[in-house]
């Protein structure tokens, strides 16, 4: 008697096994990063689950496709054969191992990027020489992720083996009826898989932007999964040309070309107005520094950066806010006024070799000597080539420092000795000069020099001790720099590449997660001001040109000087959404053209969409966002991100 086939039942059970395993990694992702999300009530939790399931089914249907097609083709008397079973198991297990691995890896990486990994990660890991050295450290620090991965693999392999035995395939007698039944099953299954993969019957296939249908922007990572974001962004153009407006309309709404005029209220801050050619410019970019670490910005009165707090009392202090969450995006934002408005980092994209202006290129035209300092591996994230390309004459990295006695074992040279080295090199530069510095010690794995262990408060977060160490390194830097003849004529701007780990509720909102220091200091500053005005990273470049009073200077800049008369804004892109803040209103513009509007003063959690109640403001946000997108996409695609001579 011929045994009844259990083949299709086995396929369905294995599909469900994959879904359950992916669910488990999603739950772990939330547990590991729960402080970064704000879920209000059972309803939102349920909506997240529904959205998570939709994206999980899409990802599984794609990655299991070779296994599913092999097992759904109407073969006759092949399913029970050894070659078929081995091939089928290889396809199934490899797909699941990959999906589980990337989703768990992202559980650890997400807290540094605030976005799911996308296809550009392969190029990002290939930039620089420090990746291989960091793998052992990451495995040690994230052993719990590795443990969950191994446990899940054991469960996967055991249950898969049980299903293979329990639902064992047997040889069936070939007949026209059998072939017909299997053909019908194939014809029915294929459209179902296509439906699951594209996420439903909607006009456009499921994309990253659809995640916001289920929850707030802050929580969309819980709806998405990393296998989905990887395949959905693979091979996709980083940018697409836009034609929302004709050229005249476009430039009236928003133009990245800025012409500076002399005299502004900033001049009153100094004993005498700053002058180009006489004022040196130092931009200090601190690794992973949240504004929360300074009592200047927080409300709990705790400071992990006492020196910066003391310096702030003699400075102009703005409410700093970052345009991204990765160093590779933060550096171009600060020195070239280039925000990240695509899924891929600019430096690793096809546009990475485009012409681009910068603080350095503009000041070199004013006979400044320019230098960039970073104690990391030469080549890390391509900063050495990038900075030279945009006008920095000299690059000083780990190779130039040439003393591994001060190597931290992970990223490069500890901040304290490297910043002392910077002063010695700055003394050799022809004046006037512009120097940019990028620190590294306050980055994971937060390694402390042996001579400074237990010297600083460990605080309540793993990052706090190294933040205090970097603050101490800055104190020593300023102490030594103050002895140099160039110090009295030097403008210092202190900010961060992106925010770091935070703990207070004020810094866990949609905006709070991106708050960074923005301190402007000059030894001849007459007064200190703590401003409530937001200044984003891309405002630094035009702000420097404005402070130096370079009259009639034209630059290409996506930011605006905080001293300019034009209306100020903050813009940020994440997971298919463009966030724009003007005044008290923040909008979320999606790639499908829909928009939401919130009052960030009254509604910090961004729960109450008031777009319909404030149609005039909403329309203004739509027009500005569309104009910004058009200028950004088209100028980068056409390589027109500099001022034509």
Q: Which two tokens stand for residue 533?
A: 């005005």
Q: What's the rounded mean pLDDT across residues 138-152? A: 86
286's tokens? 């601190």
Predicted pLDDT of residue 1: 41
**Would you state the pLDDT for residue 38?**
85
* Token code pair at residue 43: 């309803």
What are the CA-CA distances from residue 315 to residues 97, 252, 306, 433, 537 (Å)? 53, 35, 14, 21, 18
Please give the average per-residue pLDDT across 168-194, as a whole number.
Answer: 77
For residue 537, pLDDT over 70 is answered with yes
Nearest to 121 by CA among 285, 326, 287: 326
**What does the pLDDT read at residue 344?**
85
In 3D space, the residue among 128, 636, 632 whose CA is nearest the CA of residue 356 turns out to be 636
pLDDT of 171: 61
- The DSSP-derived string for 398-445 is HHHH--GGGB-SSSBB-HHHHHHHHHHHHHHSPSSEEEEEE--TTSTT
Percent of the chain with pLDDT over 70: 93
CA-CA distance, 372 to 387, in Å (whole number)? 7
Render 134-162 in DSSP notation, one character per residue: HHHHHHHHTHHHHHHHHHHHHHHHHHHHH
- The answer to whether residue 264 scores a pLDDT higher than 90 is no
Bridge pairing between strands 433-438 and 515-521: unpaired
Q: Select the highest-mean-pLDDT range: 310-314, 347-351, 441-445.
A: 310-314
Q: Rounded to whole angstroms, how far apart are CA atoms 118 and 232?
A: 8
Residue 68 structure tokens: 């599913």
Which own/partner pairs from 295-300 qualify as long-range (CB within 8 Å, at least 24 positions apart)? 296/517, 296/530, 297/515, 297/517, 298/504, 298/506, 298/507, 299/504, 299/506, 300/504
Q: How confident is the model at residue 207 (pLDDT cuts 50, 70, 90)?
A: confident
Lowest-pLDDT choice from 227-241, 308-322, 395-409? 227-241
pLDDT band at 29 (very low <50, low <70, confident <90, very high): very high
pLDDT the model gives residue 635? 96
Average pLDDT of the residues in 549-578: 90
**Is residue 621's pLDDT more than 90?**
yes
**Residue 284 near residue 493, CB atoms below 8 Å:** yes
Range in 89-93, 469-473, 549-553, 595-599 the model is least confident about:
549-553
pLDDT band at 592 (very low <50, low <70, confident <90, very high): confident
Helix (H) or strand (E) holding 19: helix 7-32
From 65-79, 147-161, 424-438, 557-571, the region with the lowest mean pLDDT: 65-79
Is the confidence at residue 558, as pLDDT, over 90?
yes
pLDDT more than 90, % of the chain: 68
Mean pLDDT across the stretch 31-43?
88
What residues contact 492, with CB distance under 8 A and at least 6 apart? 282, 283, 284, 519, 520, 521, 522
Domains plus CATH for the chain? 7-233 (no CATH), 260-559 (3.40.720.10)
| Radius of gyration in angstroms for the set of CA atoms belonging to the chain, rounded to a whole number | 27
- Tokens 């966002």 identify what position? 625
Query: What length is written for the chain?
Result: 645
Q: Which of 196-205, 310-319, 433-442, 563-572 has the lowest mean pLDDT?
A: 196-205
Residue 593 to residue 26: CA distance in whole angstroms: 29
- The pTM of this model reads 0.83
DSSP 8-state assignment for residue 376: B
**What per-residue confidence (pLDDT) applies to 269?**
87
Q: 436, 443, 359, 360: which is closest to 396 by C-alpha?
A: 436
Q: Is 48 exposed, middle or buried (0-12, 13-18, 19+ CB in 10 A)?
A: buried
Question: Does the CA dihedral 351-353-358-361 come out positive or negative?
Answer: negative
Token output for 303: 């400071």
Q: Per-residue pLDDT averaged across 392-406, rounded?
A: 96
DSSP element (H, E) containing 332: helix 327-336
CA 523 – CA 518 distance, rounded (Å): 17
Residue whose entry in the numeric block shows the structure tokens 């443990």: 147
C-alpha distances out from residue 14 to 8, 260, 510, 567, Å = 10, 64, 39, 57
Q: What is the pLDDT of residue 553?
A: 86
Pick from 135, 475, 454, 28: nearest CA to 284: 475
**Does the bond joining 340 to the residue before it have cis omega, within 30 degrees of 0?**
no
Query: Are 493 and 517 within 8 A, CB to CB?
Result: no
Residues 386 and 351: beta-carbon distance below 8 Å: no
Say if residue 117's pLDDT is above 90.
no
Q: What is the pLDDT of residue 125?
A: 59
Using CB atoms within 10 A of its CB, is residue 268 exposed (0-12), middle (13-18) or buried (19+)? exposed
DSSP element (H, E) containing 23: helix 7-32
Mean pLDDT of 92-106: 95
Q: How confident is the model at residue 110 (pLDDT cuts 50, 70, 90)?
A: confident
Cα distances (angstroms) measured from residue 403 to each of 327, 375, 376, 396: 24, 11, 12, 13
Please give the Cα distance from 546 to 560 (Å, whole number). Answer: 10
Which residues, other chains included, contact 197 with Cβ-Cβ below 8 Å and sequence gap of 6+?
Answer: 58, 61, 62, 65, 205
Average pLDDT over residues 13-20: 96
Residue 264: CB partners within 8 Å, gap ≥ 6? 546, 563, 564
Averaged pLDDT for residues 1-27: 85
pLDDT of residue 24: 97
Is residue 336 a contact partner of residue 319, using CB atoms and an 8 Å limit?
no
Burial class (CB in 10 A: 0-12, 13-18, 19+), 623: middle
- SS3 (DSSP) at 111: helix
Q: Are 115 and 575 in contact (CB under 8 A)?
A: yes
Structure confidence by residue, pLDDT tens digits, 331-381:
999 999 999 998 888 998 888 889 999 999 999 999 999 999 999 999 888
DSSP label at 525?
B
pLDDT at 169 over 70: no
Average pLDDT of the chain to the nearest whole number: 90
Q: What is the pLDDT of residue 72?
A: 84
Tokens found for residue 306: 């006492």
């Amino acid at each position: 008697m011929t045994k009844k086939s259990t083949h299709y039942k086995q396929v369905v059970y294995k599909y469900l096994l994959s879904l359950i395993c992916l669910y488990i990694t999603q739950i772990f992702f939330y547990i590991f990063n729960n402080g970064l999300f704000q879920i209000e009530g059972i309803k939102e939790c349920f909506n997240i689950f529904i959205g998570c399931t939709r994206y999980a089914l899409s990802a599984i249907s794609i990655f299991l496709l070779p296994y599913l097609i092999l097992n759904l083709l109407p073969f006759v008397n092949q399913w029970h054969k050894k070659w078929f079973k081995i091939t089928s198991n290889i396809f199934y297990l490899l797909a699941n191992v990959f999906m589980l691995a990337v989703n768990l890896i992202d559980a650890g990486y997400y807290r540094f990027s605030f976005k799911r990994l996308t296809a550009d990660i392969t190029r990002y890991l290939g930039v620089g020489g420090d990746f291989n050295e960091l793998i052992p450290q990451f495995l040690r620090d994230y052993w719990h992720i590795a443990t969950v991965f191994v446990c899940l693999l054991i469960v996967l392999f055991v249950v898969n083996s049980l299903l293979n035995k329990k639902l064992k395939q047997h040889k069936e007698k070939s007949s026209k009826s059998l072939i017909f039944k299997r053909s019908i099953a194939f014809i029915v299954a294929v459209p179902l898989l296509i439906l699951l993969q594209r996420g439903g019957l909607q006009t456009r296939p499921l994309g990253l932007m659809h995640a916001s249908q289920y929850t707030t922007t802050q929580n969309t990572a819980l709806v998405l999964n990393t296998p989905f974001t990887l395949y959905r962004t693979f091979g996709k153009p980083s940018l697409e040309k836009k034609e929302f407006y004709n050229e005249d309309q476009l430039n009236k709404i928003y133009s990245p070309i800025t012409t500076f005029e002399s005299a502004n209220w900033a001049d009153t801050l100094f004993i005498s107005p700053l002058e180009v050619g006489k004022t040196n410019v130092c931009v200090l970019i601190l690794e992973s520094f949240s504004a929360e670490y300074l009592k200047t910005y927080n409300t709990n009165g705790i400071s992990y950066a006492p020196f910066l707090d003391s310096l702030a009392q003699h400075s102009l202090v703005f409410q700093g806010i970052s345009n991204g969450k990765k160093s590779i995006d933060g550096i171009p934002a600060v020195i070239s006024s280039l925000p990240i408005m695509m899924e891929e980092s600019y430096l690793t994209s096809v546009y990475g070799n485009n012409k681009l202006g910068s603080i350095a290129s503009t000041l070199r035209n004013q006979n400044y000597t320019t230098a960039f300092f970073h104690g990391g591996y030469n080549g890390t994230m391509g900063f050495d080539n990038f900075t030279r390309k945009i006008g920095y004459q000299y690059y000083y990295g780990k190779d130039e420092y040439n003393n591994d006695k001060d190597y931290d074992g992970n990223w490069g040279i500890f901040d304290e000795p490297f910043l002392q080295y910077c002063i010695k090199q700055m003394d050799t530069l022809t004046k006037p000069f512009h120097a940019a510095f990028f620190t590294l010690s306050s980055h994971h794995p937060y390694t402390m020099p042996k001579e400074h262990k237990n010297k600083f408060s460990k605080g309540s977060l793993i990052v706090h001790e190294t933040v205090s160490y970097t603050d101490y390194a800055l104190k020593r830097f300023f102490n030594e720099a103050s002895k140099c003849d160039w110090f009295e004529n030097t403008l210092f701007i202190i900010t961060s590449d992106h925010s770091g780990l935070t703990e207070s509720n004020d810094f866990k909102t949609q905006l709070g997660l991106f708050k960074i220091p923005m301190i402007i200091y000059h030894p001849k500053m007459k007064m200190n001001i703590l401003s409530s005005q937001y200044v984003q990273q891309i405002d630094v470049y035009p702000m420097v040109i404005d402070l130096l009073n370079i009259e009639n200077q034209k630059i290409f800049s996506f930011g605006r000087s905080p001293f300019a008369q034009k209306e100020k804004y903050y813009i940020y892109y994440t997971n298919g959404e463009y966030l724009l803040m003007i005044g008290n209103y923040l909008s979320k513009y999606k790639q499908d053209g829909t928009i939401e509007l919130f009052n960030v003063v009254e509604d910090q959690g961004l729960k109450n969409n008031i777009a319909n109640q404030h149609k005039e403001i909403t329309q203004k946000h739509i027009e500005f966002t569309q104009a910004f997108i058009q200028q950004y996409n088209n100028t980068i695609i056409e390589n027109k991100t500099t001022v034509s001579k």
